Structure 1
Amino acid sequence: MNAEFIKPFIASFINVLLTMAQTELKPGEALEKVDSKACGDVSGLIGMIGDDIKGSLSITFEESLALDIMHKMLGEKPTSVDDDVQDMVGEVVNMVCGGAKSTLAETSQEFGMATPIVVFGKNHTINHQVDGAKLVMPFTSEAGKAYLEICFNK
């Protein structure tokens, strides 16, 4: 997977959480992912397709981080992952993908975005409907961990 293609997604994720939720993320080391088990408690998944590229992006949050982001973004302080938290996770994934899309359009890498879906629960799975290597990038913050997964067919 081309690192120059992945960097805009990482930068967009860091920017969205810093700007929208005053949450600083520290990236860890990217690894190839070989299974479909999510590393956290609530995940947003969005598909992407262009003329010569097909892929998907997911962002998984530990519950503690998702609740903290919800509190910082909207002022609400839920005690568990509810419908509003799920909507917020979907919107974060949409903003991250949109930010990366804008950056990549400058290099003639254009794609359309699907509507995000959100799945949650302990030990849930994420199925990237794309044949290709899956990369997972862990992030840490004061409130918990997040994981950005990306998969493209080239």
Structure 2
Amino acid sequence: MDIGQAIIDGTQEVFTTMLMVELEIGKPIIGKGGEVQANITSMLGLGKDIRGMLAVHCPADVAKDITGSFLGMEVEELDEDVKDAIGEIANMVAGSLKISFHEHGQDIELAIPTTIVGDSFRTSGMFGATRVAVPFTMNGSTFIVELKYMAAA
């Protein structure tokens, strides 16, 4: 299974069907690199056959644009609506990945998303996990959808 392509397909599906937005797609990055300065990150854990974490990392302007598209209104600040919207994006992309893994004979369970907001934070995953990050551009600003994963022991 091509994880990078699964992230691209899932993210595109969510944005075109739920937000009616076309995204520019960057090249998937395996391993280190491709970080963006995120002001908001929503992440959720994966369990069962695949353990890991899916995260959506957004600068403030992208997060507000996503939320505005979701709600059909102008968004001025990183408020609860923005946290909820980015959490829902992460949840829907993870749901799409769950289907892709299932089609390849791997069952995964999804946790509830957790969203953090701030000017200076860093997320880290499991030691030894494979990292695949895909940059997407919306309205001229880039955000990252990242999956850190490993097969369950």
Q: Does the C-alpha gap of structure 1 residues 68 and 143 become closer, same or farther in structure 2, counting only changes over 3 Å?
A: farther
2:85 maps to 1:88: yes
Could you tell me which runs of 5 or more consecutive residues in structure 1 were left unpaired when the two chains were aligned. Answer: none
Q: Does the C-alpha gap of structure 1 residues 20 and 143 become closer, same or farther in structure 2, counting only changes over 3 Å?
A: farther
TM-score by length of 2: 0.86
| Equivalenced residues, count | 150
The separation in 1 between residues aligned to 2:119 and 2:30, in whole angstroms, is 22
Choose from 45, 54, 58 the match for 2:55. 58
Q: CA RMSD in A?
A: 2.0
TM-score by length of 1: 0.86
Could you tell me which runs of 5 or more consecutive residues in structure 2 were left unpaired when the two chains were aligned. Answer: none
Equivalence for 1:22 = 20
2:146 maps to 1:149: yes
Percent identity over the alignment is: 25
Paired letter, 1:152: Y
Equivalence for 1:97 = 94
Equivalence for 2:2 = 4
Equivalence for 1:134 = 131
